Amino acid sequence: MSAFERHPKLTLSVFLFVFALLIAGLLEIALRFIVPYDIGYYVAVRDKGVYTYPYGEIIMNSEGFPDTEFDLDGRKKRIGYFGDSVTFGVGAGRGYRFSDLLEEKFPSYDHWTFSMLANGIQDQAIVDMVESHGLDGVVYALNLNDLLPTVEAKDETQNIDRPPLLYRLQMWVRTVPDQYLRGTSYLYTWLRTTVKNALTRFGVSDTGFQAAELFPSQNKDVLEDVAARVNATGKALRARGIPFCVILLPYEMQVSGHAAQIYRHLGVDWEEGFEDGSTQKLIKDALEVRHIYDGLAAFEGLKDSAQAGDFFVYNKGDKIDFNHPNRAGHARLTDGFLNSRACPLYR
């Protein structure tokens, strides 16, 4: 009697498993010739070292931040820069981020970058770093994709809605398969990108929530929640005598009509008024922070002439990307920020 006859279900399962591995291997090889983007463009790193990305170099220090080691014994006044992947330098690389450009112009300060590759505002982290690192000023670059509802651990005994299934799923994806497969496996990265881009087209952020920034009038409660957290951070810093400056970062479809047409064609949608800065206006109205710079002003007058990719990352990595400024975008934001004199740290 053959093995199949003795254990038909087990034999069939093994055959199907080996067949699936063979198909996956063939797809892995084929996608290396088909995929048009760099699968490692957005891969996060946390360990100390020097990393080379397609857009430039990133240095990670021993504390897990994208900067050289912080000299806690230094005598210069210290400005801390907080934010997400834009502040990290995705699309620009070290030396070309707005924090680096400000460091070149104001060498009498230490300019320390505390950004994280994550979504959501870093309210408590800012206060903690001010205290632990003796910061004398804070610049927070608020990206529009940080406009998320407050998500906390929920007590299952309470009658409180849990975060969306997509949110919980993406948290698992970031902590498990992404760590080992994103940027390494073409098949995994391609599948991930396909799902992520489909969610983007349906108006869902990669956190599983509706993209509040694209539909601000429908999500005023979310914007007000975020503003309240930023206001609380500002209040905590004022109590410590620390200047707090907020930069509102724009999306590419707000600075380029050509880019807006492309993203519309790709299936991305947003409500009327978003292209003209309605989201930033609602945030500014809700903020009680004294020093605010609307980064959209840095691109004023360019909407009819700017092409997709002139100031933002376009079609480079594994996502539909309209929120990461490139080197030219960082330079434009830096000049606009300084010329506005919105932040007392640079006067």
Domains in the chain: boundaries: 3-34, 49-346
The alpha helices in 176-251, defined as continuous H runs, are 177-181, 186-201, 220-239
Q: Among 165, 282, 293, which Cα is nearest to 221's?
A: 282
267 SS3 class = coil
pLDDT at residue number 5: 63
DSSP 320: -
Q: Amino acid letter at 119? A: N
Distance CA 182, CA 60 (A): 19
Q: Cα(293)–Cα(331) distance, rounded to whole angstroms?
A: 15
Say how far apart CA 141 and CA 138 lie, in whole Å.
10
SS3 70: coil
pLDDT in tens, the chain (347 residues): 566 666 677 777 877 888 899 999 999 999 999 999 999 999 888 889 999 999 999 999 999 999 999 999 999 999 999 999 999 999 999 999 999 999 999 999 999 999 875 555 666 789 999 999 999 999 999 999 988 887 654 444 444 455 667 777 777 777 778 888 899 999 999 999 998 898 888 888 767 778 899 999 999 999 999 999 999 999 999 999 999 999 999 999 999 999 999 999 999 999 999 999 999 999 999 999 999 999 999 999 999 999 999 999 999 999 999 999 999 999 999 999 999 999 999 98
| CA dihedral (185, 187, 188, 191) positive or negative | positive
**pLDDT of res. 246:** 97
In the prediction, which pLDDT does 160 show?
Answer: 44
Q: Which CATH architecture does the domain made up of 49-346 adopt? A: 3-Layer(aba) Sandwich (3.40)
Distance CA 74, CA 82 (A): 20
